[in-house]
Amino acid sequence: MKIILFGISKEIIGNNQLTLPEGHGLTTVLELKKWLLKKYPVMGSLSAVAIAVDQVYAEDETPISDNQEIALIPPVSGG
């Protein structure tokens, strides 16, 4: 499963894309969020992180699979 990263999430993970290992077993957005926090604890310091599945903002119960486009969208500030 490949996840596209934006904003500070790119800096935290150190790349603009994250590839989950084979057999990751993640089937929902909530499971993905929990995995990300376990693997990258500093993600917990962000005020909010949205996840988009196939270019639509997703809820925690949204199913995910390897063939979908998944994006991690952290809070954005502007001036």
Instruction: Please give the full DSSP string across 56-77, using - where no structure is assigned.
Output: EE--TT-B--TTS-EEEE----
pTM of structure: 0.86
pLDDT confidence of residue 77:
58
Q: Can you tell me the distance from the alpha carbon of 64 to that of 77, in angstroms, rounded to the nearest whole number?
A: 28
Mean pLDDT by 10 residues, the chain (79 residues): 91 91 90 93 86 96 94 75
Phi, psi of 46 (to 5 degrees): -75, 145
pLDDT confidence of residue 78:
56
> Which domains are seen in the chain, by residue range?
2-73 (3.10.20.30)
